[in-house]
Structure 1
Amino acid sequence: MSIPQITDPAEFWEDRYRSDARVWSGNPNPLLVREAVGLAPGTALDLGCGEGGDVLWLAARGWRVTGVDISATALERAAAHAAEAGFADRVAFERHELGVTFPQGGFDLVSAQFLQSPVALDQDGVLKRAAGAVAPGGTLLIGMHGGWPTWMEKHEHPFDADFPTLQGVLTALDLPDTWRVDTLEAVERPSPSPEGKPGTRADNVWRLTRTV
């Protein structure tokens, strides 16, 4: 993703999805799979759901899922994929510019996977509201890129990025002692270049439980 020419978040992401028939693979995010596979199904909120890969994975495992995105095009595709998979009765989609509006209600799982943007996003504020949407006994699951891929030279970085640290996100969340940290980990994963040049990328994952 290159330096954005469009700076309005809604316009930027709508343009991004309209520019390609399919932006993402349709597969669930691996950190979600790793951390949520053992959780008992309930209600889930997927922030920044895109074309619905994570929503479908959760719905297939018995969750009732609300997917949220800023792009109407992304949400239309996600709803179509859910209907094709036979999950229309257990998923719902809402359009929000997170940081401006936020879904109502409490959820057993709130997932924010790679909620990172080259245009304006109140990331800390959104994650605090995400924590506030977790029901007692529920889980907040966050996945973030921790840096650029190793194959990318500094002069190749498409834009300046401030990658969140493990402790930095915990500090920003400022959670009370009624929360438990279950996973706080940096994960190195394969990340080849578009041309196939080998490399890795560091991702950070937080899984936190609201105990009461």
Structure 2
Amino acid sequence: MIGFDVGSRTAKLVRFDDDNISDYKIINSMNWEKLFDTLNLKDVSSVCTTGYFRKSIPNSWNITEITASIFGAKYYYPKADVIVDIGGQDTKVIDIRNNSFKLNDKCSAGTGAFLEFVAKYFDLEVEELEKLHKESEKPITLNQTCGIFALSEMISQVVNHEKIENVISGMHYSFAHRISHMVPECRSVVLVGGVVKNKGIVDALSNILNCEILIPPDPQIINALGAARYAQQLRSKS
């Protein structure tokens, strides 16, 4: 079965056979058609899509990102309580125990877009944010919750000779605090989405959330995996 997750920034495809991931690929969302060409997908009878563009892509089934996250996260952690899916444009907190969720899509401050915005301003690669976080001795405290004002506050700290590593680490903690307010009391949280590859965010969330933090081998493909597992379940029932 094929799971296809096309989000705001990246497209992820997972081939799922015999309850195992046999292949997966990640490319820019605008080039999602190349994934079909790469894997020679001529027949869409086994394709399930999710993400922002799920209805625009040839498929046999399409499902919401909420459903995809649950099916994907449960592949690795069947007993997990909550999923935090940090995407490019929004962050979703899904309580698997009662099938409820919260969505932050009103402000960029808790999304991947904000991290990219900060990195670009300070002339950094996104991957460098994690390295700077690890080098921080004393993360600053950011008082602003809005992305634009938070960046302004970060700039002011740098102008006042604060070390960039402390500013970046403080940004990660501010990011994590914003997300933590959405997370219900629970025993375990699965972190998914491309942003989770930034260990600075993971470290901050681990220090803030009072629960077990679970990270899949590649958190960026979880929704594509979930779409493939959903399709497999439907196929087995037919």
Q: Is the structural similarity TM-score above 0.5?
A: no
> Going by fraction, where is helix more abundant, 1 or 2?
2
Larger relative contact order (Cα-Cα within 8 Å, sequence gap ≥ 6): 2
Give the alignment's TM-score, normalised by structure 2: 0.30
> Going by fraction, where is strand more abundant, 1 or 2?
1
Give the alignment's TM-score, normalised by structure 1: 0.33
